Amino acid sequence: MSIKDKVIDIIAEQAVLEPSDVSMDSTLESLGIDSLGLVESIFAIEEAFDITVPFNANEPEQSDFDISSVASIIAGIEALVAEQNA
Amino acid sequence: MNRVVITGAGTINALGHNVADTLEAMREGRCGIGALEFRDVDRLAIKIGGQVKGFEAEGHFNRQQMTLYDRFTQFTLMAAKEAMAQSGLEFHGELSAKAGVVLGTAGGGVSTWDANYRTVYEEGKNRVHPFVVPKLMNNAAASHVSMQYNLKGPSFTVSTACASSNHAMAQAFQMVRSGMSPAMLTGGSESMLCFGGVKAWEGLRVMSKDACRPFSANRNGMVQGEGAAIFVFEDYEHARARGAEILAEVVGFAMSSDATDIVMPSKMGAARAISGALQDARINPEQVCYINAHGTGTAANDKTECAAVADVFGPHADQLMISSTKAMHGHLIGGTGAVELLACIMALRDGVVAPTIGYQEFDPECALDIVPNEAREAPVEYALSNAFAFGGLNAVLALKKI
């Protein structure tokens, strides 16, 4: 399974949706994922890829990790996984 | 001052998953204590407890709720659901703004602490689930009850070890009696039956390896239990106006502190709480027919408690009945007073006094009518419920038949 598909699976499960309902330009807000849902998703992503996501819920804009859309989250994870494998 | 009545009760404990089953077990003198079942139990010296068996969170809670609810919160919500259904109350508008929930627990989410310490210490993982804190905090159960039933008034959690529930119910009683709130949810919950929870208690060397035998000369310690009991305390006029079924009246309470020792009980401290409850309820000692004892089955508690009762009641101490239901459901620590209040309700409402089971040998230091081994039918007009905590913090409630 690709990183993209796995991340979409995790986000879909959190949003209680089918993966096909999650598009690349969806935002977490549009999927109905609140702040607790976000930290739970990040935990699930960290567990799935064994990475550490640099995200602080107090200042999401300041984090090195862009959560503005599903596409940006996937790009961020792909970069972290590549960094880890480097 | 308003009269305060109980219009709803709910429970889950080792004797039953609801009030009816629990009271039936108490009437029949059934023992809910058995072999503990959880991970690493073979590494414990103490392998028995009053564990809630046959309860699965699945089916009662959705996936998101299960990730947020420690077992002590799950127990609380199960008991609250039963109590609320019986009361028939719904919280809207002004009633919702004034009503709250005051609960007792000693440990809160002990199994959440335990499981996550295991993850980081034993398994060497460096990451824990983000809900660990909201799951384990001692007020989690009270907060979820407030959210579930739209309780927007005063809500908090009391933690006074084995007296937590009695202290909590005393607070709720006071709020309704003073007119601060027309109705409050109250009671307590505990779930320490996991490896770390029992291991900590083992260290103190007060636990029995075979049975809880309160007041028996051959008693050898306490046995832990788990579960919850929740009640609806309501202003009598409010309850009557809506035609609610009334289970019993709460007529008084008192709290005292031994101010002597962190674990050894004091006769004086216990006696002051008992006599204080009688004064607060404006009743004479002779009117009390039944006391639900703290009765832990330890050498120290049972003789001290009996001496305190003898001091307060004088010759009437030999006339009243005093039983400890802990031999059946175990010691629920912070939740124990709540489950034991059910035995008081049964005595007042049904005229059935729950027995002290496991009684084998007479102890001259516990020479009271402890209702040995078999329940007894007797009319009970007034009952007391004792709780004496580690740390010397005592809380006694007085109830009346209605």
pLDDT for the residue B362: 98
Chain A positions contacting chain B at CB under 8 Å are: 36, 39-40, 42-43, 46-47, 52
B144 labelled catalytic: no
B67–chain A Cβ distance below 8 A for any pair: yes
B60 labelled catalytic: no
* pLDDT tens per residue, range B22-73: 999 999 999 999 999 999 999 999 999 999 999 999 999 998 899 999 999 9
pLDDT for the residue B209: 97
pLDDT band for position A57 (50/70/90)? confident
B331 labelled catalytic: yes
Complex ipTM value? 0.83
Q: Which domain holds residue A23?
A: 3-85
pTM here? 0.95
* pLDDT tens per residue, range B139-156: 999 999 999 999 999 999
Whether A63 has a pLDDT exceeding 80, the answer reads no
Whether A65 has a pLDDT exceeding 90, the answer reads no
> What is the enclosing helix (H) or strand (E) of B303?
helix B299-313
* pLDDT tens per residue, range B301-314: 999 999 999 999 99
pLDDT for the residue B368: 98
pLDDT for the residue B381: 98
pLDDT for the residue A61: 75
pLDDT band for position A64 (50/70/90)? confident
pLDDT for the residue A58: 85
Give the distance from CA B115 to its chain's centroid: 25
pLDDT for the residue A41: 94
Helix (H, G, I), strand (E, B) or coil at B79: helix
* pLDDT tens per residue, range A29-54: 999 999 889 999 999 999 999 999 99
Which domains are present in chain B?
Answer: 4-241 (3.40.47.10), 252-400 (3.40.47.10)
Laid out side by side, the sheet with B100-104 consists of B156-158, B100-104, B183-190, B227-235, B4-13, B248-257, B393-400, B382-389, B288-292, B321-323
Give the distance from CA B271 to its chain's centroid: 20
Tally of structural domains, chain A: 1
Q: Using a CB-CB distance cutoff of 8 angstroms, which residues of chain A are in contact with residue B130?
A: 36, 39-40, 42-43
pLDDT for the residue B63: 86
Place of tokens 């038949």: B401
pLDDT for the residue B400: 98
Kindly state the greatest CA–CA separation across chain A.
35
* pLDDT tens per residue, range B354-371: 999 999 999 999 999 999
Ranges of residues in chain B with a pLDDT under 50 are: none
State whether B131 and A42 contact (CB < 8 Å).
Answer: no
B127–chain A Cβ distance below 8 A for any pair: yes
Q: Can you give the CATH number for the domain in which A40 is found? A: 1.10.1200.10
Q: Which amino acid is at B146?
A: S
pLDDT for the residue B351: 98
